[in-house]
Amino acid sequence: MIIRMSTLLARTLRDAPADAVTDSHRLLVRAAHVRRVASGVWSWLPLGKSVLDNVTRIVREEMAAIGDQEVLLPALAPVAAYEASGRADDYGDLLFRLADRRGARFVLGPTHEELFADLARDQLVSGRQLPLGLFQVQTKYRDEARPRSGVLRSREFLMKDAYTFDADEAGLRASYAAHREAYIRVFARLGLAARPVAALSGPMGGSESEEFLAPAAAGEDRYAECGSCGLAANTETVVGEDAGLAEKEAVGERPCPRCGAAALRIGRAIEVGHIFRLGTKYSDLIGLEVAGADGRPVRVQMGCYGIGISRAVAALAEQTCDSAGLCWPDAVAPAAVHLVAAGGGERARAAEELAGRLDRAGVRVLLDDRPGLGTGARLADAELIGVPRIAVVGRRAAEGVAELRDRRTGVSADAAFDALPGLVGAADANTRQSEVG
Ligand SMILES: [Zn+2]
């Protein structure tokens, strides 16, 4: 596929929004990946949508690989379900509420435990149908008091939420472990450094949960990691043991509240995933039961598992960007190579021909074919947009040689047009292969 900059809806900006304080906010806007519609509400433009879709696809593949089935429940949900569970109160003003023309009250769902429990009660008859794992990729809503940092903390966002149903606690532990492993694979494939740490469960309820935190200076969560005893937790979970950790700005090294070693490192991070063993909290509420092996009713054990997909895009931007712009990992990049002609005439024609060759070899190409733009401006945009490789067709175009530059390292080398599909395609194919495998 050749994406042409001349027709692509991607007007890059020299200046960042005045209110942007994080790199991902600044760069995703400047690189024409997202555009603000209202406070905490964003449009995804073609380049950003491509990254978002790539993240979504990897998440979907890993959920399917552990046997979860995809469904789609409504974002518009009757408020009664959330009132019955007590979460309408727990969420308070974070919940978007609305009424229809007849006065029936609804919410725009923040997560869907209630509706999934209800679906399971409707569909499940026998314990032989368990374990069951369901997931959806859906737009979610939270009426944040201070939406900020672009798509990192927005009021409308894309999320993958999964729910598991088991006949007993051992089953729930197995389902939880399978999702935990799947999440580790998801983040590894995305190229996002994120690790599970102990967490407080918050309004989701349940007895035990872990967050997947992606270290980043822009993060609003803080995690504590002990090099001696292995403690890894959101600092919220250990403030009871060390009041000093409650100070919002406390980062760096301090004594570990568990083992006492002076090896506790505090860092900032972005929460990109959260997994919960809910137990029977929701099953108890609505009487979700199945017939057990002996025919007697068994209360169903639930787990729930979320990945913030739009937030993962922002977290990836935070972890990989540099002073010149975005720097996407292969697995999520909108193209495998960004092709730039350093000049018009023969060089532009050579770039066009090279784009065709790459396309025929199955390589995803972003071609800067915009008329009347200087080479400096093209290269600045290429660095801003952050496709992993930039191929410059310049002074050696007539010999059929381009300069291939690695966006992340800046290392460049001349490469023959003949060799480029192989050089670029190999990396691109590796990405795709792991998607299938
Ligand atoms: Zn320790």
| Structural contact between residues 366 and 338, judged by C-beta atoms closer than 8 angstroms | yes
Residue 134: is its pLDDT beyond 70? yes
Amino acid at 192: L
What are the domain boundaries of the chain? 23-320, 335-436
Quick one: pLDDT at residue 303? 97
Ligand 1 centre and the CA of 274: distance in Å? Answer: 23
Ligand 1 centre and the CA of 227: distance in Å? Answer: 7
Ligand 1 centre and the CA of 28: distance in Å? Answer: 38
Concatenated DSSP letters of 228-247: TT--EEEGGGTTTT-GGGGS
pLDDT in tens, 271-297: 999 999 999 999 999 999 999 888 899
Facing residues of 405 across strands? Answer: 390, 412
Ligand 1 centre and the CA of 250: distance in Å? Answer: 17
Ligand 1 centre and the CA of 194: distance in Å? Answer: 20
The whole-angstrom separation of Cα 429 and Cα 35 is 31
Ligand 1 centre and the CA of 316: distance in Å? Answer: 29
Under CATH, to which class is 23-320 assigned?
A: alpha beta
Instruction: Detail the DSSP E strand segments found in 167-296.
Output: 195-198, 208-215, 221-226, 232-234, 252-254, 264-279, 289-291
Output the six-digit token pair for 196: 């599970």
- Percent of the chain past pLDDT 70, that is, above it, reads 92
Facing residues of 4 across strands? Answer: 367
* 159 contacts: CB under 8 Å, gap ≥ 6: 111, 137, 138, 139, 140, 306, 307, 308, 309, 310
Which residue, chain included where needed, has tokens 């679906």?
119
DSSP conformation class of 24: H
pLDDT in tens, 347-390: 999 999 999 999 999 999 999 999 989 999 999 999 999 999 99
Average pLDDT over residues 111-117: 94
Ligand 1 centre and the CA of 248: distance in Å? Answer: 21
Output the six-digit token pair for 118: 């209800």
pLDDT in tens, 246-280: 555 556 677 887 788 878 888 899 999 999 999 99
Ligand 1 centre and the CA of 257: distance in Å? Answer: 7
Ligand 1 centre and the CA of 178: distance in Å? Answer: 27
What percent helix, strand, coil does the chain show, rounded to 5?
A: 35, 30, 35
| Structural contact between residues 150 and 25, judged by C-beta atoms closer than 8 angstroms | yes
Ligand 1 centre and the CA of 264: distance in Å? Answer: 6
CATH 3.40.50.800 fits 335-436, yes or no: yes
